[in-house]
Structure 1
Amino acid sequence: MRILNCIPDVSTGSVRRMGLDIGYAFETVSDEVRTFLFTPNTPAPGHLKALFRWLCDGTKPGLLVDINGQIVTSSHGIAALNGADGKMRGFTFLTDNPSYYPSRFARWPRNCLVGTVDRSFSGAAGYLLFNKPRYVFFPHGGPPDRRDTHPLVERDIDFLFIGNVAETHKPKQHADAIFPDEPQRRDLFLRSLEQLDQRRAFLEHTLLVARETPKRFQRKDIPLVANALEAYVNARQRARALALLEGLPVTVVGRISHPTLGSQASFDTLGFVPFDDCQKLLERSKVLVNVRPGFPTGGHERIFYALAHGCGVCTSRSELLEPDRQSHGHLEFHADDLSDLRETVLDLRDRVSSSGANPLAMFDHYEKHHTWSRRLRPVMEALMDPPQN
């Protein structure tokens, strides 16, 4: 099978790195993989058409791969997939909440599979955004493990905190600011925040609250409110996490909008660091602190890249990661309200860097369950006989 892996050429974020690593995983199932790095919003249509012809000229149907639908939902991608007469199939990896991309999925090509990073995303997205695609659970993953990296006891970063922290206000003030002339959306935001259930993804939770509210909401209201809720909760939780970690030796990476956060004497605050450079920090770190609710049955990409580098990980609760928590001791969940965060990260650091730690068990579990090569198996199975939609 010929595979064309289309990756936005933005070097600072995680998408480019993940796209390249997914491409390396595809090379384990095909010896005809081409990578197309493109500038977002200007994907060189002439070059694309030549690559589409190459995809269709193989002995088996070719596979067009992209991230967040940037190519498969473009006019060129839709025309190619719809006009390929079965000679081309598509797969797009949604790296986050599908409510971030409603306009991109107003139309959908035939023979295209969507990978979602949380099990709940397919149902909520199907109701709110687009019903035609077929979905497969495709959680974030990581590269082959780096078990030859430095032992944890030799690493100089005790705690690595990665995440932007936007400034927030009290709930009503914040709702008034983001929905100043939209009382229904403002009301749904406040209701969803008041009834917050972190066992559900934000899109699913907001949809359920809207259904139980006497007021009628337009379908387009739900993703907008869910996105605002997700941003607010993430910012508040990360701000609280940094406050709770005060006094510990923490290296802080990310844009911090709060004037007093990140400046504690015990913190080494680096500001924004490109994702590829964060890999070098992971090589030096004992524990990654990853406060990122929103994937209750999935997992954020930093978790898996940290495990690949042998780090301990303290993160938000996830059904997908419960076997990791129980099996190898390198992963722990913090409480939803973060009340145990400080104690949890200290215990985790001491455990994973002790002489009795068994990193090989963690690496073996990671290789078996979480690499991008492992993630591709259900995708390739689902692509064997895609429906005509």
Structure 2
Amino acid sequence: MKALVLTGQNQYQVVSHFLDGIAHDLTVLGYDVDFLNVENVANIKDGLTRIGKLDDYAMILSFNAVGLGPLSDEMNTLEYAKQKPLFVFCVDNPLHLMLRFFGHPVKLLCVAQEHVTFLRACGVEAHYFPHAVSSNWAMPQKGSSHQEAATSILFPVSFIDKHVFMKELAPVWQKLGPVIEASRNVTDFLQRIGVMPSEAGPARTQLNEMILRIAAVVDKYLRAKARETCLLDCATRDYKLTVIGRDVARYQTLCDFHHYSESVPFPELLLLMSQSNFVLHQSPGFEQGLHERVVYSLSSGTASCPMMHILPKPHLPMQACLVLIVPCPMSAMQHTKMPSPKVSKPC
């Protein structure tokens, strides 16, 4: 059997890392795996000379719904999807990608349960597909700097400018501003405006393109706001972070308490995770999922601390006032076996 993986550009090459892992495990299951980069016309033209006909593949896996539609005069992935399974591995919130796949015969694989709920409410076939590590995962080797980094708290994020998205929301802020500010994340926002069912009752508002576009900006705004809150809260509690990612030095004007470093290639980030005492995780807009930062920190032997579990006890030492997800045996973190992680509550 053969499988085709459609890829594009991705930040820090992190997606390439775990797509390679998925390809390895598909190989273990008996698939021959080909990759096609569909980032631009030149890559497509070059890549098509290296793969077979689409009908030769038993399945196609698309990263974030890239490559859906015509690849050439003879190859169309959406025509393929009418006959054989085409999976979309949706590592971002699907509301940002809806216009790529909505109405097409594809199957969504989502990293969060609330993404699945949202898509099924929209009539899209979706399945929970949490992040994991490949069966050939090798823990990064700790370097000589491990002792120096033993007390560090690593916070891998990128800079997000909250004010850019607040400006985009200005036309609807008078009406929706209070609802947006009261929302924990975009799922909560969609529940509050009635697009998604909640404990308060069933959905009462039909999703349309305008709401979809507003929700996409709300998601970015709330994530930016939560990231700033995270930095300020940690500084208030005297938790000094090593913040690493694209343009994070711009956060110095907000909070100069932490140490900021520019982004590094993903293999180097994995090494930094293994050398840290904790990896702080501030959820990117979802609560019922398993993000790769949690999975990879645990797989590197380092405890992961979700931001939502930092408790307001500044007078206690850090080890006493964090809810930690501590590393499990390696078999627990592989695609083939995925039990719930062990949770330690020192408080």
Residues 113, 270 of structure 1: CA spacing in aligned structure 2 closer, same or farther, 3 A cutoff? same
* 1:138-164 deviation per Cα after TM superposition (whole angstroms, max 9, x unaligned): 012234554574499746252101112
Pick which of 148-157 and 95-104 moved more: 148-157
**Contact 1:164 / 1:235 at 8 angstroms: preserved in 2?**
no
The 8 Å contact of residues 65 and 100 in structure 2, kept in 1 or not, is answered as yes
- TM-score of the superposed pair, with normalisation by structure 1: 0.69
Q: 2:165, 2:217 within 8 Å by CA — same for their partners in 1?
A: no
Structure 1 residue 216, shift from structure 2 partner: 7.2
- CA deviation profile, 1:157-189 (whole Å, cap 9, x unmatched): 5210111233435xxx974x22333x3x65235
Match of 2:117 among 110, 123, 131: 123
Give the corresponding residue for 1:82: 79
Query: Following superposition of structure 1 onto structure 2, how do residues 339-354 of structure 1 map, counting pairs within 5 Å?
Result: 339=312, 345-347=318-320
Q: What's the offset of the Cα at 1:289? A: 0.7
- Secondary structure at the counterpart of residue 12 of structure 1: helix
Kept in 2, the 8 Å contact 1:12–1:275? The answer is yes
In the TM superposition, 1:368-379 aligns within 5 A as: 368=332, 370-374=333-337
CA distance in 1 between counterparts of 2:29 and 2:321 reads: 37
In 2, are the aligned partners of 1:193 and 1:229 still within 8 Å (CA)? no
Higher RCO (C-alpha under 8 Å, 6+ residues apart): 1
Kindly indicate whether the alpha-carbon contact (under 8 Å) linking 2:140 and 2:271 is maintained by their aligned counterparts in 1. Answer: no
Note the C-alpha offset of 1:38.
4.4
**Structure 1's 161 and 63: CA in aligned 2 closer, same or farther, altered over 3 A?**
same
How far the C-alpha of 1:296 sits from its partner, in A, is: 1.6
Counterpart of 1:193 in structure 2 is: 181
Amino acid at match of 2:190: L
Matching residue of 1:260: 253
2:328 counterpart residue number: 363
1:163 corresponds to:
157
Instruction: State the match for 2:97 in structure 1.
Output: 101
Query: What does residue range 286-365 of structure 1 map to in structure 2 within 5 Å?
Result: 286-316=277-307, 333-334=309-310, 339=312, 345-347=318-320, 362-364=327-329
Counterpart secondary structure, 2:51: helix
- Please tell me the root mean square deviation across aligned C-alpha atoms, in Å: 3.8
Which AA in structure 1 matches 2:55?
C
SS of residue matched to 1:20 = helix
Query: 3-state DSSP class of the match of 1:27?
Result: helix
In the alignment, residue 265 of structure 2 is paired with which amino acid?
P
Change (3 A) 1:308 1:206: same
Matches of 1:274 and 1:224, distance apart in 2: 32
User: Structure 1 residue 207 and structure 2 residue 201: aligned?
Assistant: no
CA distance in structure 1 between the aligned counterparts of 2:19 and 2:314, rounded to whole angstroms: 32
User: 1:92 aligns to what SS in structure 2?
Assistant: strand
Is the 8 Å Cα contact of residues 189 and 225 (structure 1) preserved in structure 2? Answer: no
| SS in structure 2 at match of 1:114 | strand
Distance of 2:129 and 2:85 partners within structure 1: 17
State the shift of 1:348 in Å: 7.5
The corresponding residue for 1:15 is 15
Cα distance in 2, alignment partners of residues 27 and 221 from structure 1: 42
Is 1:65 the counterpart of 2:80? The answer is no
1:30 maps to: 30
Aligned residue pair count:
322
SS at match of 2:220: helix
Kept in 1, the 8 Å contact 2:304–2:324? The answer is: no
Pairwise CA distance, 1:43: 4.6
Q: Which residue of 2 is the match for residue 235 of structure 1? A: 224
Contact 1:5–1:64 (CA under 8 A) maintained in structure 2:
yes
CA–CA distance in structure 2, aligned partners of residues 221 and 164 of structure 1: 27
Q: Cα 1:239–1:103, aligned 2, differ >3 Å: closer, same or farther?
A: same
How far apart, in 2, do the equivalents of 1:349 and 1:207 lie? 30
Corresponding residue for residue 320 of structure 1:
none
Deviations 1:305-356 (A, max 9, x none): 1111011100155xxxxxxxxxxxxxxx336xxx46996854389999xxxx
Q: TM-score under structure 2 normalisation?
A: 0.76
Q: Aligned equivalents of 1:116 and 1:342: distance in 2?
A: 40
Distance 1:344 1:135 in 2: 43
Partner SS for 2:180: helix
Give the Cα–Cα distance (whole angstroms) in 2 for the partners of residues 245 and 9 of structure 1: 32
Identity %: 17
Residue 220 (structure 2) pairs with residue 225 (structure 1): no
Q: Deviations over 1:267-311 (max 9, x none)?
A: 432123333331121121110011125222102211111111011
Cα separation, 2, equivalents of 1:308 and 1:48: 36
The 1:217–1:304 alpha-carbon spacing in structure 2 relative to 1, beyond 3 Å, is same
Q: In the TM superposition, what is the alpha-carbon distance from 1:31 to its structure 2 partner?
A: 4.5
Where do 5+ consecutive residues of structure 1 fail to align?
Answer: 318-332, 353-358, 376-389
Letter in 2 for 1:82: E
Aligned amino acid, residue 179 of structure 1 = L
Offset, 1:211: 2.1
